[in-house]
Structure 1
Amino acid sequence: MLNIVLFGPPGAGKGTQSEKIIEKYNLTHISTGDLFRKHLSEGTELGRLAQKYMDEGNLVPDDVVIGMVDEKIKENNTSTGFIFDGFPRTVAQAEALDRLLEEKKTPILGMIALDVPEDELKTRLLERGKTSGRVDDQDIQKIENRVKVYLDETLPVANYYNGQEKFTKINGVGQISEIFDNICEVINTY
């Protein structure tokens, strides 16, 4: 199975590139944001549990998130592989994901990180905010906070996969097709 983590800060182009990767390699997309929305809207047991934590202003615990990921993998057990988008966000989540995939004998083959300078991220997010309607893309202070959270909390995940020799950084600035070609070069080595 082709299991990859697509990684990068908000505005790096993960959504754009993951669509292209999914189409070319016939992968199943796993986005924890999508999983949360699905479970919350369907009122599943995991959704109700997640809602309880969110209502209290707390982060949803890793075991609940991993439970949602596990369920998605089980629903797509004939998939040729998975692309993890926006997950894992912490080293603890990366370790939990590794354990889950180890049980299924289908490890993460690599993490591909889109590298984009902070000024470019801000420009992209503000531009996206004009058309997306996303409030968090329209306020420079919220954008700066999201980038800071990424650098402080999420970036260590890159070091985790780098320690396993599964980390590749791709320049996320340029033509979409050129960036995609560079990503495919990496995927084709797995």
Structure 2
Amino acid sequence: MRIVLVGPPGAGKGTQATRLAEKLRVPHISTGDLFRTNISRQTELGKLAKSYIDAGDLVPDEVTIGMAKDRMEQPDAERGFLLDGFPRNVAQAEALDELLTAEGIKLDAVLDLEAPEEEVVKRIAGRRICRNDSAHVFHVTHKKPAKDGVCDVCGGELYQRADDTEETVRTRLDVYHTQTEPIISYYDAQGLVTTISALGEVDEVTERAMAALPQLEDPAPSH
């Protein structure tokens, strides 16, 4: 099963990608992880990416595509993969199609997680992270700590990340609408897109996503 997960920042892509990949028993391939892994291992592509990042420039498509290609060729991705954050634009989507065609395989589905813009802004701008451990995440309305500004888990200070402010979130949404959203039309023309509401409990969203892949619900052959 080869799936692309798209949606605006704050729609819960990372959470859903992890859960879906586990259920489908395929690797979750995220752009962030690709960059971190290649940079920490000091691969040629990692060094190249770091030079752009350090200069404050966007990493060119061909570098990102190269990393994705290397990762998709790993043995654990033979049965399929779930892509999260890649492709990020139509040029990357076209390059991905070329890569898959060369291997004689194709995408099975594109899941588009949809959330109203104001909900996305509230979700991200209300997020508070623990300084001691970034895995400890709270929210000013949805998951309040027992004591304001203090992590329930370890007592560390809770803070708002610089890229979680409302102004930054709206800028990130503009970038998403301009650069990434067009890939939905691109894949829709191939009949691959299913739009899923990202509202509600995490489990509900996962169930909706799984229901959009009905052939996986019952792996037994039909008679």
Query: 1:174 corresponds to which letter in structure 2?
Result: G
Q: Larger RCO: Structure 1 or Structure 2 (Cα < 8 Å, ≥ 6 residues apart)?
A: 1
Q: What's the Cα RMSD here? A: 1.6
Contact 1:4 1:108 in 2 (8 A): yes
Q: 1:15 Cα shift? A: 1.2
Measure the CA separation in 2 of the matches of 1:187 and 1:174: 19
Q: 1:86 Cα shift? A: 0.7
1:188 aligned onto 2:187:
no
Deviations 1:31-73 (A, max 9, x none): 1111111111121111111122223332212111111111111
Q: 1:135 Cα shift? A: 2.5
- Structure 1 unmatched runs, 5+: none
| Residue from 175, 184, 192 that aligns with 1:166 | 192
- Structure 2 unmatched runs, 5+: 131-136, 138-158, 217-223
Query: 2:121 corresponds to which letter in structure 1?
Result: K
In structure 2, the partner of 1:157 is 183
Measure the CA separation in 2 of the matches of 1:55 and 1:184: 39
The structure with the larger Rg is: 2
Equivalenced residue count is 188
Q: 1:129 Cα shift? A: 3.7
Query: 1:80 corresponds to which letter in structure 2?
Result: R
Deviations 1:2-49 (A, max 9, x none): 100111000001111111101111011111111111111121111111
Against the structure 1 CA distance between its residues 70 and 117, is the aligned structure 2 distance closer, same or farther, given a 3 Å change threshold?
Answer: same
User: How does the TM-score come out when normalised to structure 2?
Assistant: 0.79
Query: Larger helix proportion, structure 1 or 2?
Result: 1
User: How does the TM-score come out when normalised to structure 1?
Assistant: 0.92
Measure the CA separation in 2 of the matches of 1:65 and 1:54: 12
Contact 2:3 2:82 in 1 (8 A): yes
